[in-house]
Structure 1
Amino acid sequence: MLPVTSTAADTLVKVAGSVLTEVAALRDRIVEEVSGELPELAQDAQARDLLVSTVRENLIAALGVFGGATRRVDVGAPPVALEFARRLAQRGVPITTMLRAYRLGQAAFQQEMITRIAAEPVSAGDVAVAATELSSVAFGYIDKISEEVVEAYQLERDTWLRNRNANRLAKVRTVLSGKAVESGEIEKAIGYVLSDRHVGAVLWCGPDVDEGARLSSLERHAGLLATAAGGRVPLVVAPDASTVWAWFPASSIDPDLVTRVLDGSPEPVRVALGDPASGLDGFRGTHQQALQAQAVALMAGDGLSRSVTTASQLGPLALVAADTAAVATWVRTVLGALADDDEQHRRMRETVWAYLSSGSSLMLASQELHLHKNTIQYRLRKAEQARGRPLSEGRIDVEVALLACRLLGTAVLRPVGD
């Protein structure tokens, strides 16, 4: 970087003083540019007043640095700028929008200053040095101010979200408790129509997601699922720092579509879905089913890569899957060696599942698995040998045990070598 000459420094001081005397005009120009490109920053008179005051105070503070009235190390975000950041957080304006406004303001400020520097009767070299110093100081100012307003924004956003969630969660728990409630009052408080048809969901993530980012990530994914479910706004509350409960006002949600949404995300979010249900009882019922589906998914641990578990998949397993160890013992008793956790027995289990779930039809099973009927018959015989008795013996038990293998994976399978 070129050394700052006395002439260049004097030029900056002089230009800063001239801009300060006309700061209102520059303020108005910046406000118009920012509000024109980012209208969400000036949605009403109150918001616009805060924007105007924020731009004015930042201009005065920055010009004070260039004019020598303020040392760089002493500069800080004006109180009104912090208040504006908190107000944007309360209104849900994205933090990226606020930072974009600061970049627009910086660009307009530098353009005005450089235009005036170039008009000064100094050498081209001093103009270049002054412009370089201008850019360096302006960047440093915006960088420091941005850190402070971002901190104010995030703190307010976190506090506001916690308070809003606490109020909603208390109302939702009242509904879920089964107590008699006045639907109209509850609906107004939580912003959700209880008489609708709902699909309950539980979304959660593991410890590999940063603790401070979990809830925002889960809420964002709930929004993605809402789009997949038709775009209507869901009810979302957080019972803890790593889980959200959601209700989607929809007649159905396609699990395959949900899986595609989650698989397309870089964050390891998992979802449990209840069955569609209507009204107040349905609101409670579909949520309870989603919790059961989550419990089964959690039993599976990391043994399965499935990102979505639905209540409709559980069948009778929802009634017996209260104790992982007990279920594992029962599965291994029912299936024998067919419960061994290796590729050979996995193929046998999938073949038996396709055969039994198709009504013991070799043709339908072969179509589903894209295998010849003779291959299906061969695998069925091998499965019976592994089990040690016919598949028709205790058939219902066999189907439930296979369902447990599909949903719980290694949690119930017998490790090879045991």
Structure 2
Amino acid sequence: MVTRAVAGREWLLALAPRDPRDPRATLDHAAVTAASRGDAVARVGPAAVCWAVGIGEEMAERIVAEIPALGSGTAPFEKLRSGTEASVLRALLVLAQPDAGLSPIPPESLDGVQEFVRRGVSLDGVLRGIRLGHAHMTRSFLRDCEDLVAPDRVAAEMASVTDELFVYIDGFAGAMTREYLTEYDRWTTSAAATRAQTVRAILAGEEVDPVAAGRVLDYDLARRHLGLTMWTGSAAADVGLQRAAADLLRARGARSALVVPVGAGQLWAWGSLPPGPFPTTGPVPPGLRVAFGSAGAGVDGFRRTHAEAQRVERLRRVASSGADVDGATDYDDVAVAALLAGDVGAARDFVRRELGELAGAGEQAADLRTTLLHYLVAERSLITVAGELHIARGTVAYRVKRAEQLLGRSAGERRLELHTALVLARELGDAVL
């Protein structure tokens, strides 16, 4: 197979990333299979394929910004990116070689349908994502068409490309709809779906018979529960995650566990705890991020511990200062920040208003905030803070004084608000500073 394009479409072979140094627009960064990538390179050349790789990632980012459910989290985003990248490549090949008999929908795009169904993403949501992606892809083709095609032909070529991409995306949407409905029928008749639907009904506050639901789930809803959410930075196998979740819950004293996969590299889980205190530590396998709720009894406790775990997960995902790293976080350790992080914009405004210049970037400002937070917690004891931070008492006094200068007020004024803002700054970092 040789690099070629139908007469008049040679400009497609000249497509290339606008920034050749962009690491996201390279063959090594491609999300499609090696076979798909190799076939595309043979048909239109490596530069055009790199262009498609970059546009595919932009599409995925645009879609997730509007519809987070389609790709929130690293593994789900990579699954979505594989589909968007594949669709750009297929559109490129269809435009360049319309007589090649290529299907309008590549296999990588179909792969994401199963996950969408299992995560409860509606067909309307999937189709809206397709429309958003199509709009971005069309703009990208037309932008480069205008740059690469001779002025006397560009208007006619842009009109032709627009029409052909509309036909392409119409076929794409139709194939995705058929695949979604087929997978939905398959999933809703499976035992796993019944368990997942039962859990979602409980979490949604629907009236359920705890005994009957417990039989479906093989889990006693009347006992005390510890909920967790788990996610990973890579598309790890669900079975590996399920084993890890069960092991973590057992390490915290759980006698039985309920694990519900909710997408690639993501799951929810609950452990049934005996009365009394339980361990709050346990080894977390490398590559895994875990958010724990606090223990709660009965159906209400089942819901509450899960809601708390989700707040912690959101806190860690939102944080832009390296907080979303491997390991476990307990709700009791970050409860205030987790509650306030539900509206990041409001939290950002609050932190900046309360801290003023103390919300600045850099290591020096971070040291001042850390020292001031310890100072407030220690009831303004310089000796206690010096021991906790392993610095001289005079250094503590200097930092507190400097922090108050940046605040424009004493640390004793609006103490609750100041304490809260410092906690948010510590947990969310650059997202609120």
CA contact (8 A) 1:275 1:286 kept: yes
Displacement of 1:247: 0.7
Cα deviations by residue, 1:303-349 (Å, 9 ceiling, x for unpaired): 32553332223344344323323322321221122222321111111
Counterpart secondary structure, 1:186? helix
Question: Aligned partners of 1:322 and 1:382: how far apart in 2?
Answer: 31
**1:356 corresponds to which residue?**
376
Cα deviations by residue, 1:54-109 (Å, 9 ceiling, x for unpaired): xxxxxxxxxxxxxxxxxxxxxxxxxxxxxxxxxxxxxxxxxxxxxxxxxxxxxxxx
Call closer, same or farther: CA 1:175–1:337 in 2, change over 3 Å.
Answer: same
**1:238 corresponds to which residue?**
261
**1:131 corresponds to which residue?**
none
- Does 1:168 find its partner at 2:187? no
Displacement of 1:301: 4.2
Question: Aligned partners of 1:372 and 1:302: how far apart in 2?
Answer: 27
Cα deviations by residue, 1:276-315 (Å, 9 ceiling, x for unpaired): 1111111111111111111111111463255333222334
Aligned residues: 245
**1:21 corresponds to which residue?**
none
Bigger Cα displacement from structure 2, 186-195 vs 309-318: 309-318
Question: Aligned partners of 2:240 and 2:408: how far apart in 1?
Answer: 48
Counterpart secondary structure, 1:249? strand
Call closer, same or farther: CA 1:366–1:164 in 2, change over 3 Å.
Answer: farther
Question: Aligned partners of 2:311 and 2:286: how far apart in 1?
Answer: 26
Name the Cα RMSD after superposition: 2.6
Displacement of 1:402: 1.0
Q: How does 1:55-204 map to 2 (within 5 A)?
A: 163-204=190-231
Question: Aligned partners of 1:214 and 1:339: how far apart in 2?
Answer: 41
Return the match for 2:303 from 264, 284, 289. 284
CA contact (8 A) 1:229 1:252 kept: no
Question: Aligned partners of 1:324 and 1:235: how far apart in 2?
Answer: 31
Question: Aligned partners of 2:250 and 2:342: how far apart in 1?
Answer: 33
Question: Aligned partners of 1:389 and 1:215: how far apart in 2?
Answer: 52
Call closer, same or farther: CA 1:410–1:300 in 2, change over 3 Å.
Answer: same
- Does 1:370 find its partner at 2:390? yes
CA contact (8 A) 2:253 2:279 kept: no
Cα deviations by residue, 1:337-365 (Å, 9 ceiling, x for unpaired): 22223211111111111111122233332
**2:399 corresponds to which residue?**
379
Displacement of 1:270: 1.1
Question: Aligned partners of 1:249 and 1:164: how far apart in 2?
Answer: 22
Return the match for 1:339 from 328, 341, 359. 359
CA contact (8 A) 1:195 1:280 kept: yes
TM-score of the aligned structures, taking structure 2 as reference length: 0.52
Identity %: 35
Structure 2: which 5+ runs fail to align? Answer: 1-185
CA contact (8 A) 1:165 1:238 kept: no
Question: Aligned partners of 1:226 and 1:321: how far apart in 2?
Answer: 26
Task: Specify which structure has the higher proportion of helix.
Answer: 1
CA contact (8 A) 1:199 1:252 kept: no
Displacement of 1:408: 0.9
Counterpart secondary structure, 1:230? coil
Displacement of 1:254: 4.8
CA contact (8 A) 1:303 1:410 kept: no
Call closer, same or farther: CA 1:286–1:353 in 2, change over 3 Å.
Answer: same
CA contact (8 A) 1:252 1:276 kept: no
**1:310 corresponds to which residue?**
330
Displacement of 1:383: 1.2
Counterpart secondary structure, 2:219? coil
**1:293 corresponds to which residue?**
312
Displacement of 1:403: 1.0
Displacement of 1:240: 2.5
Counterpart secondary structure, 2:259? strand
Question: Aligned partners of 2:311 and 2:360: how far apart in 1?
Answer: 26
Counterpart secondary structure, 1:234? strand
Question: Aligned partners of 1:183 and 1:252: how far apart in 2?
Answer: 25
**1:247 corresponds to which residue?**
270
CA contact (8 A) 2:223 2:298 kept: yes
- Does 1:272 find its partner at 2:291? yes
Question: Aligned partners of 2:277 and 2:226: how far apart in 1?
Answer: 7
Cα deviations by residue, 1:22-70 (Å, 9 ceiling, x for unpaired): xxxxxxxxxxxxxxxxxxxxxxxxxxxxxxxxxxxxxxxxxxxxxxxxx
Question: Aligned partners of 2:192 and 2:380: how far apart in 1?
Answer: 50
Question: Aligned partners of 1:339 and 1:229: how far apart in 2?
Answer: 37
Structure 1: which 5+ runs fail to align? Answer: 1-158, 414-418
Counterpart secondary structure, 1:198? strand
TM-score of the aligned structures, taking structure 1 as reference length: 0.54
Question: Aligned partners of 1:167 and 1:312: how far apart in 2?
Answer: 32
AA matched with 2:195: R
CA contact (8 A) 1:276 1:286 kept: yes
CA contact (8 A) 2:230 2:290 kept: yes
